[in-house]
Amino acid sequence: MVDATELPYIAALPKVELHVHLETSLRLRRLLQRCDPDRPLIGQAHLVSDPSRFAGYDRLRRLRYAERANRLPDFAYTRANIAAITAELIAEASRQAVRHIEVRVGGQRAFSVLGVRGMLEAMADGAGEARRLGLSYGTIVTVIRERGPEEADRIIADAVAASDCAVVGVDLAGDEENYPAGLFSAPIARARDAGLGITVHAGEFAGPAGVWAAVYQLGAARIGHGIRAIEDPALMERLCERGVALEICPTSNVRLGLVPAMSAHPVGTFLKQGVPVTINSDDPVLLGTTLTGELACIAQAHRLGAESLVNLQVTAARAAFLPAGERGSLERAVRLKT
Ligand SMILES: [Zn+2]
């Protein structure tokens, strides 16, 4: 009998990735260094505080600062390079039997150098790789809370106008503690009215109140992370009733000090209580994650068998920002005879 927690089984499992950031500067750096291995690295990483001394959102910020210390020149942000890193991310997913991927982007530099429209067009060019490899693809545009509702509104207006660039959703991310969901009601409503899917990073660095607000004030169909919903049984019930899926990114939660160990991750309780859960890789280059690896960690730590692993993919297929017919086909594609 096959051991469902073994890597070869999980690697071959048809999968859905809903929460992965393009992480433009990191992927661009890797691309440039591959093309020019002798490129001198001039940086000031030593001036960045040690991320391990911080937890939560502060640690994430410092991890990113440290990685970005060797700042890339603006000329690295070309359409060809953005298309190349998008295609590379899709090819990595395809090698892990991913059947549908939604890639999110919110990089301030890329948006300022190429413009929102230019960036989304470049990603759409790279997404041609998905058609070639036989998986479906969508772009999610991330707006950052601490940059304020006016910037969110401008970016979302451009995202709505870019329906020809495979934009399927809008994501709200950033400092959830100091910039609550209610500030973004108007821009997010604009995205929702235009038919885009709404996902909100919440219940990650702050408590369950942010998840309630994301669902009821912003109409979020999915929650990025949402792990602190575990503190509120009424909220968990509501997530079940409304079918709001949590985009769980296990290594990210452990690395940022939000969960002490994989075995202590609340995902096991969510699954037992019927909360819709999906597993995702978040920031593969920054965190060294893969979707296969994330599923393997969770399967081992929480003793998930083949049926649970397939069910995670079915939940993700149902939560995908795709038209209903395509969601149905995706669901059939990820159901395996076990
Ligand atoms: Zn994220």
pLDDT tens, 82-118? 999 999 999 999 999 999 999 999 978 889 999 999 9
Enter the CATH code of domain 20-243+253-259. 3.20.20.140
pLDDT of residue 1: 40
- Please indicate whether residue 204 is annotated as part of the active site: yes
Expressed in angstroms and rounded, the spacing between residue 303 Cα and the centre of ligand 1 is 25
Q: Which amino acid is at 335?
A: R
pLDDT at position 332 over 60: yes
Q: How far, in Å, from the CA of 20 to the mean position of ligand 1?
A: 7
- The residue ranges of every structural domain in the chain are 20-243+253-259
Q: In the sheet where 15-21 sits, what is the strand order?
A: 15-21, 98-105, 136-144, 167-173, 197-202, 222-225, 245-248, 277-279
Check residues 281 and 62 and name the one with the higher pLDDT. 281
Task: Give pLDDT, residue 42.
Answer: 46
Helix axes 24-35, 108-126, angle to 10 degrees: 70
CA of 226 to the centre of ligand 1 (A): 11
Neighbours of 113 (CB within 10 A): 18
Which of 282, 269, 274, 268 minimizes the C-alpha distance to 244? 274
> What CA–CA distance (Å, rounded) separates 131 from 129?
5
**pLDDT digit string (tens) for 239-256?**
999 999 999 999 999 998
* pLDDT exceeds cutoff 60 at 128: yes
Task: Quote the ligand 1 centre to 201 CA distance (angstroms).
Answer: 7
The reported pTM is 0.91
* The amino acid at 239: L
For 28-34, which contacts have Cβ atoms below 8 Å and span 24 or more sequence positions? 28/72, 28/76, 28/77, 28/81, 28/82, 28/85, 29/70, 29/72, 30/285, 31/81, 31/84, 31/85, 31/88, 32/72, 32/76, 32/81
Measure 306 CA to ligand 1 centroid, in angstroms: 26
User: Who has greater pLDDT, 74 or 217?
Assistant: 217
Q: How confident is the model at residue 12 (pLDDT cuts 50, 70, 90)?
A: very high
What's the chain's average pLDDT?
A: 91
Q: Which residues surround ligand 1, an ion (CB under 5 A)?
A: 282
One of 204, 231, 237, 247 is an active-site residue; which one? 204
Closest to 310 (Cα-Cα) out of 18, 93, 13: 13
Residue 57 pLDDT: 81
| CA distance linking residue 188 with residue 196, whole number of Å | 9
Question: Could you tell me the distance, in angstroms and rounded to a whole number, from the CA of residue 21 to the centre of ligand 1?
Answer: 6
Enter the tokens of residue 101. 């991927």
Of 197, 105, 193, whose CA–CA distance to 155 is shortest?
105
> Please, are residues 215 and 246 in contact by the beta-carbon 8 Å criterion?
no
Instruction: State pLDDT tens for residues 31-85.
Output: 888 887 776 544 444 445 677 777 778 777 777 766 665 567 788 899 999 999 9
